[in-house]
Copies of this chain bind each other. A is one copy, B any other.
Amino acid sequence: MNPIESTWRGETSVGDLGEFGLIARIRERIGAAGGALVLGLGDDAALLSVPAGWDFALTCDMQLEGRHFSRRWMTPKEVGARAATVNLSDAAAMGAVPVAALVSLGLPPALPVAVTDALYDGLLAALTPHGVALAGGNITAAESLIVDVTLAARVEAGRALRRAGARAGDVVFVTGYPGCAAAGLATLEAEDALWARLAERAGRAAGDLRARFRLHHAAPVARVAAGRFLVENEAATAAIDSSDGLGGDLAHIAEESGVRIELQETFLPVDPILIELGALVGTDPLAWVLGASDDYELIFTAPRAKADLVLAMGEALRLPVAPIGEVVAGAPGVELRRADGTRAAVTGGWDHLRSGS
Contacts and interface: CB of A to CB of B under 8 A. Distances in A.
Interface of A: 14-15, 17-20, 22, 38-39, 42-50, 52, 54-62, 64, 66-68, 90-91, 93-94, 96, 100, 102, 104, 106-107, 109, 135-144, 146, 148, 150-153, 155, 157, 160, 162-164, 239-241, 256, 351-354, 356-357
B163 A94 contact: no
Contacts of A162: 39, 43
A258 to B, nearest CB: 14
Contacts of A150: 58, 60, 102, 104, 150
The 8 A-B pairs with the shortest beta carbon distances in the complex, nearest first, are A45-B59, A44-B93, A45-B57, A44-B90, A150-B150, A52-B52, A48-B56, A19-B353
Given A59-B45, A102-B60, A15 B136 contact: no
Given A39-B160, A141-B357, A351 B61 contact: no
Given A44-B240, A50-B50, 9 more contacts: A15-B353, A17-B353, A42-B256, A44-B91, A45-B151, A49-B56, A60-B150, A62-B148, A107-B353
A353 B43 contact: no
Contacts of A55: 38, 47-50
Contacts of A104: 60-62, 104, 148, 150
Nearest to A62: B104
A48 B58 CA distance: 8
Most chain B Cβ neighbours within 10 Å, of A44, A140, A152, A162: A44
Contact of A106 (B47, B62, B109, B136): B62
A67 B96 CA distance: 36
Given A106-B64, A354-B18, A152 B58 contact: yes
B18 A67 contact: no
B45 A153 contact: yes
A67 to B, nearest CB: 6
A189 B104 CA distance: 30
A22 B42 CA distance: 35
A113 B236 CA distance: 37
A62 B138 contact: yes
